[in-house]
């Protein structure tokens, strides 16, 4: 039985027969295909001459009864910023009904009661569904590190005659059925340049080149028992490779350049994947989720209405914050929303004092609004900027020149960034848990021993950026000339300005040769040995400082890959380098 015959049989089994033309309209197949399919179904004994399904058909349908459904709801839903700061994407409301509850109700209407929901981000928000609908929650502990391929793998034992459903889908019809005769993946008839597949004449989903446009991918799928076995095997293989950590589960549907399931094409205006604030506003401008604090802040700061806020686009998730770009009255802005655990790490009142101290000095980007209580910040977007390339020595020299000019302004604030107390503070945030590094105690003891030398060689403390990493140096054209702006002053405070040199180097993952080039770029007149050793000491201290910071953030589900390991290595290696250099310095003095 081919796909077209299965479609015709399904309608004859579930809907009262009217005529062939009605079947054509219901299935989307031509009248000729309908007539040929009916003849074949009669011939094979699935229907009789009166168009009624036979016992053979009933037995066939019983074997193809939908068993269960899996709803994928673990991810951050980053594109839903700023809504996702207050509610997970599955609990967004449209027409007074949450997306996930609408899906559950539609499944129940078709007699599908076994529903597994894979949760992660804000998992506690979904707990009420257990009592209200009898669903089972499956927690994905790695939702922050891996994509939904790993969510599906957690429930692969349930895959057999199963619906797989993203939690952010809204359909104006019930897309589910009590019986499904073949495996399929849902797409719409709208062509989308972000899609990776296109429906061919045989209703197959074939991969297309990146530059082509394909059918918009909805994400709802159905897997028969046989197809599910293939998908489970493929999932096992794919999940063994860390290179697939950011892949979507759909990768398990491909064999060579084609999906192993058929296309189910629906009208574009009948299904919506709600990925952004503006998509939600378009479908339901009265949704309670549109009334989020971040939008209220923008309206009050810029004296506008919510409808004036357009083109909301999530920016790359930073180490500390989430930010989004938006347009308002023909100008672009960036809003920063503090990330997980930020309130423990940063004193927002101190940050506001820093911005006040550097205001009107052409040092940073233009701050439109900052809240010293919660850290919300709005800045004007700088067009055509680029960040410093840490492997381009020309860029590095320009940044070090700029950094030194800033330090020589000798700006003062009332608070200090004490690296050694911060090191202890970040460790305290572990709440008594040991470090992940087995030799942490010795490493910390070694680093702390460098404090005496550092204290002896600090000449003057001024406002220091502390987070003076390459990504925070922006090259921007102003009046036709390229200038530098230094952004993100969250950690800034009074400190030895040479700390900023160390911070730039460790973030750029420089080796010792590159570190020395960096120091020479700052000290164009030459750097004495005592100061160079002090900077080596700072590299060790800063490495352990940010290693402790990374350990705290990792406990919140935020990971930094190679960066965190490298920071710990800096603590160990530059302690040894500093010790060797100090011994050489002592020997030189004795020889003199």
What are φ and ψ of residue 370, in 5° steps? Answer: -145, 135
**What is the Cα–Cα distance from 190 to 25, expressed in whole angstroms?**
20
Average pLDDT over residues 500-511: 96
Q: What is the mean pLDDT of residues 92-106?
A: 93
For the chain, domains (ranges, CATH) are 3-63 (1.10.10), 68-273 (3.90.550.10), 292-381 (3.30.200.20), 388-591 (3.90.1200.10)
Residue carrying the six token digits 């770029």: 521
Residue with token string 């609408």 = 102
Task: Please write the tens of the pLDDT for every residue from 335-386.
Answer: 988 765 566 778 899 999 999 999 989 899 889 999 998 888 999 998 889 9
Q: Which of 243, 239, 197, 241 is nearest to 217 (CA)?
A: 197
3-class DSSP state of 435: coil
Task: Look at residue 267 and tell me whether its pLDDT is greater than 50.
Answer: yes
CA–CA distances in Å: residue 121 to residues 90, 519, 529: 10, 42, 50
The 10s digit of each residue's pLDDT in 206-238 is 999 888 999 999 999 999 999 999 999 999 999
For residue 170, give the nearest of 251, 287, 272 by alpha carbon. 272
pTM metric for this prediction: 0.68
Task: Please state which of the ranges 261-265, 271-275, 469-473, 528-532 shows the lowest mean pLDDT.
Answer: 271-275
Q: How many residues appear in the chain?
A: 592
Task: Say if residue 317's pLDDT is above 60.
Answer: no
Helix (H, G, I), strand (E, B) or coil at 70: strand
Average pLDDT estimate for 514-520: 97
The pLDDT of residue 191: 92
The pLDDT of residue 73: 94
What is the pLDDT at residue 145?
A: 81
Read off the tokens for 14: 């579930």
CB 185 within 8 A of CB 259: yes
31 pLDDT higher than 50: yes
Bridge pairing between strands 169-171 and 271-273: antiparallel
Residue 183 in contact with residue 227, Cβ under 8 Å?
yes
Residues 6+ apart with CB under 8 A from 127: 137
* Burial group, residue 20, by CB count within 10 angstroms (0-12, 13-18, 19+): middle
Phi first, then psi: what are they for 320, rounded to 5°? -115, -35
pLDDT tier, 128 (very low <50, low <70, confident <90, very high otherwise): very high
Mean pLDDT of 59-80: 87
User: 431, exposed or middle or buried, with CB in 10 Å at 0-12, 13-18, 19+?
Assistant: exposed
Pairing of strands 377-380, 254-255: unpaired
Q: Which residue, among 247, 36, 139, 128, has the nearest Cα to 27 in the 3D structure?
A: 36
Give the contacts of 391 (CB within 8 A, at least 6 positions apart). Answer: 508
By mean pLDDT, which of 354-363, 396-405, 495-504 is the weakest?
354-363
Q: Which residue has the higher pLDDT, 546 or 346?
A: 546
3-class secondary structure, 354 = helix
Q: CB within 8 A of 271, min separation 6: which ones?
A: 169, 170, 171, 172, 175, 186, 188, 218
Res 480 pLDDT > 70: yes
Of 27-41, 105-119, 176-190, 546-560, which gets the smallest average pLDDT? Answer: 546-560
Question: What is the rounded CA–CA span in Å between residue 71 and residue 580?
Answer: 58
Q: Which of 319, 336, 374 minimizes the C-alpha distance to 554? A: 319
278-305: pLDDT as tens digits: 778 888 777 776 777 888 899 999 999 9
pLDDT the model gives residue 343: 67
Q: β-pairing, 136-139 with 115-119?
A: parallel
Alpha-carbon distances, residue 435 vs 147, 248, 343 (angstroms): 27, 33, 22
Per-residue pLDDT reduced to its tens digit, 380-393: 998 889 999 999 99
Tell me what pLDDT residue 318 has. Answer: 47
DSSP per position, 285-348: TT-GGG--HHHHHHHHHHT--GGGEEEEEEPPP-SSEEEEEEEETTEEEEEEEE-TTHHHH--H
Looking at residue 342, its pLDDT comes to 66
The tokens for 256 are 């060579």
For 583, phi then psi, to 5°, come to -65, -45
pLDDT at 535 over 90: yes
Report the pLDDT value the prediction gives residue 319, as an integer from 0 to 100: 42
């Amino acid at each position: 039985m081919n796909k077209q015959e299965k479609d015709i049989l399904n309608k004859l089994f579930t809907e009262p027969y009217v005529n062939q033309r009605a079947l054509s309209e219901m299935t989307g197949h031509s009248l000729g295909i309908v007539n040929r399919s009916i003849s074949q179904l009669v011939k094979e004994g699935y229907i009789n001459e009166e168009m009624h399904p036979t016992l053979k058909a009933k037995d066939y349908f019983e074997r193809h009864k939908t068993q269960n459904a899996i709803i994928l709801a673990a991810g951050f839903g980053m594109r839903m910023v700023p809504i996702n700061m207050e509610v997970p994407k599955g609990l967004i409301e449209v027409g007074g009904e949450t997306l996930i509850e609408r899906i559950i109700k539609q499944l129940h209407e078709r007699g599908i009661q076994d529903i597994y929901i894979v949760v992660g981000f804000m998992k506690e928000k979904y707990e009420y569904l257990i009592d209200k609908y009898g669903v089972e929650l499956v927690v994905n502990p790695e939702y922050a590190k891996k994509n939904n391929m790993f969510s599906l793998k957690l429930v692969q034992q349930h895959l057999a005659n199963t619906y797989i459903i993203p939690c952010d889908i809204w359909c104006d019809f019930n897309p589910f059925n009590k019986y499904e005769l073949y495996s399929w993946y849902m797409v719409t008839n709208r062509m989308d340049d972000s899609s990776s597949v296109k429906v061919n004449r045989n209703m197959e989903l074939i991969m297309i080149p990146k530059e082509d446009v394909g059918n918009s991918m909805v994400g709802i799928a159905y897997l028969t028992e046989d197809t599910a076995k293939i998908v489970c095997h493929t999932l096992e293989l794919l999940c063994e490779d860390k290179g697939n950590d950011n892949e979507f589960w759909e990768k398990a549907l491909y064999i060579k350049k084609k999906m192993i399931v058929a296309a189910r094409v629906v009208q574009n205006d009948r299904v919506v994947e709600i990925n952004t604030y503006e998509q939600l506003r378009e479908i339901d401008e009265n949704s309670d989720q549109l009334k989020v604090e971040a939008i209220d802040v923008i309206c009050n700061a810029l004296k506008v209405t919510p409808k004036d806020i357009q083109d909301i686009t999530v920016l790359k998730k930073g180490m500390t914050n989430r930010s989004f770009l938006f347009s308002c009255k023909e100008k672009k802005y960036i809003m920063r929303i503090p990330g997980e655990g930020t309130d423990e790490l940063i004193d927002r009142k101190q940050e506001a004092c820093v911005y006040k101290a550097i205001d009107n000095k052409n040092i940073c980007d233009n701050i439109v609004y900052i809240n010293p209580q919660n850290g919300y910040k709005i800045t004007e977007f700088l067009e055509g900027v680029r960040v410093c390339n840490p492997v381009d020595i020309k860029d590095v020299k320009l940044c070090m020149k700029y950094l030194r000019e800033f330090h020589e302004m000798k700006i003062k604030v009332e608070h200090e960034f004490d690296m050694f107390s911060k090191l202890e503070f970040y460790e305290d945030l572990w709440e008594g848990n040991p470090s992940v590094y087995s030799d942490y105690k010795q490493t910390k003891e070694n680093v702390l021993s460098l404090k005496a030398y550092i204290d002896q060689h600090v000449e003057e403390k001024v406002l220091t950026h502390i987070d003076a990493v390459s990504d925070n140096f922006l090259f921007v054209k102003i009046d036709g000339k390229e200038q530098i702006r230094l952004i993100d002053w969250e950690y800034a405070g009074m400190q030895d300005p040479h700390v900023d040199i160390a911070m730039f180097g460790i973030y750029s993952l420089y080796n010792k040769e590159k570190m020395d080039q960096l120091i020479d770029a700052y000290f164009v007149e030459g750097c004495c040995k005592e100061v160079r050793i002090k900077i080596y000491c700072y590299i060790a201290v800063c490495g352990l400082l940010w290693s402790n910071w990374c350990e705290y953030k990792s406990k919140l589900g935020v990971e930094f890959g190679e960066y965190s390991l490298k920071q710990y290595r800096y603590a160990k290696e530059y302690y040894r380098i500093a010790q060797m250099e100090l011994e050489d310095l002592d020997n030189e003095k004795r020889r003199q």
